[in-house]
Homo-oligomer: A and B are copies of this chain.
Amino acid sequence: MLYRIGIVGCGTVGRGFLEILDRKAAVLEAESGFQARIVAIADKIKGSLISPQGLDIKKTLKALNQGWPLSAVDPEAVLPNGSSSAEIIAACPADIILELTPTNIRTGEPAAEHIRTALRTGKHVVTTNKGPLALHLRELRELAARKKRLFRFEGAVMSGTPVFSLVEHGFAGNAIRGVSGILNGTTNFILSKMEIDDVNYGEALAQAQKLGYAEADPAADIEGYDALAKVVILANVFLGANLKPADIRPEGIAGITRDMVRAAKAEGQRYKLVGFARRTVNGVAAGVASRRLPLSDPLAGVMGARNALTFDLDLLGPVMIEGPGAGRIETGQAVLQDLLAIHRELK
C-alpha cells in the first residue's frame, strides 16, 4: 500500500526519517507492503514544496545535508513565498502528515494548529512534538476520533524506544498504576559525568555541550521542563489525567554539587533526575525531582545520555524499558514505527 506523506518542519528528525526511508524502502515494501511517497515538505527556513508525483528522496537529502534551499530539489514543485504551513497541509495531496516542527512547550504552536488542520482535512497525523501533546492531547484525540483519522506520537517520549506501542500491545490486559523514569538524556549525561569523572556541575555541562548533548541554552533540560513535558504526556495518556505543564513545578539538577554526588556514591547511591506519575486516591500525582537512588534500583544503572521508563503494572508488577532518548535516526525510527502501525491498521 502506498502512502502519500507530507512533512511539516524538516529539521533533524525529518532528515533522520528520510535517511531511513532511503535506506529501507525496498525492505519495507518486501516485508510488509509499505510504500511511502513524499508529496510535500513545509519548512519555514528551508522552503516548501508540493509534488503530487513524489519528491526524489536522495535529492531531498542532499539539499538538506548541504543546507541548500529545498527549491533546489524540484523547482517546479516550489510554492510561492508566503504560503503558510497550514495552507500547505490543507492543500497537499497527503494521506499522512508528519508534524516534526520544534517543540514550543508554552504554546504548543504552531504544531497544534498544524495537527488540527491535518485532521480536519482528513489526514492521519504522526508527530514527535511534545508541545501539542502536553497541552492539547484530549482535544486532538477527540478531533482525530471525530474525523476517524489516526493520531500517533511514539517519538515524543524516549525517541524510538517504544513506550506507547509497548503499552498498547505488550502490556495489553494490564492496568497501569504508575510510571517513573529517566526522561532527559542531557541531565542524565551530566549526572553520570559528575560521578564517573568526579567533576563539578559546570565542567560536566560544558562536556555535554561540547558533545552536542546539551543546547547552548540548556535551561529546558537542566531545570526539568523537558522531562516535565514528557511526564505530563505519560500521565495524560496512561493514567487518564488531564494535567498541564503549568500545573507542576519541576525540580532541576543545577543544585546538585560534586560533594553531594561523592557523598551519595560513598553510600552506594546515585543521583538521578526522575519523572514520575502515579495513581493516588485523589487522582494522579506527578512530578520531576532529583532523587538519590540505591544502586539496586534499575533506574540507577541507566547511565550517560540514555533514558529508561519503569511501568508499575497490576499483573506484571514493575517492567522497565531502557534505550536511547534522542537522536536523528532514533527519532526518525519512531516516525517510521508509527507509520508502520498506521499501515497495519489500514491495510
Contact = CB atoms under 8 A, between A and B. Distances in A.
Contact of A166 (B162, B295, B320, B324): B162
A254 to B, nearest CB: 25
Interface in A274-311: 295-296, 298, 300-303
A321 interface: yes
Nearest to A332: B315
Interface stretch (A65-73, A124-132, A168-176, A237-245): A168-176
A169 to B, nearest CB: 5
A195 to B, nearest CB: 11
Contacts of A160: 315-316
A340 B341 CA distance: 16
A150 B336 CA distance: 25
Contacts of A302: 298
A174 B333 contact: yes
Q: Which of A168, A172, A295 has the most CB atoms of chain B within a 10 A radius of its CB? A: A172
A106 interface: no
A161 interface: yes
B173 A170 contact: no
A317 B321 contact: no
A161 B319 CA distance: 7
Nearest to A336: B173
Contacts of A173: 20, 24, 28, 333, 336-337, 340
A22 to B, nearest CB: 13
A33 interface: no
Q: Which of A20, A295, A333 has the most CB atoms of chain B within a 10 A radius of its CB? A: A333
Contacts of A172: 336-337, 340-341
Contact of A162 (B169, B322, B329): B169
A315 B341 contact: no
Given A20-B173, A320-B323, 14 more contacts: A159-B316, A161-B319, A162-B169, A162-B319, A166-B170, A169-B337, A170-B170, A298-B302, A315-B336, A316-B324, A316-B333, A317-B324, A320-B321, A322-B322
6 contacts: A28-B173, A162-B171, A169-B169, A169-B337, A172-B340, A315-B330
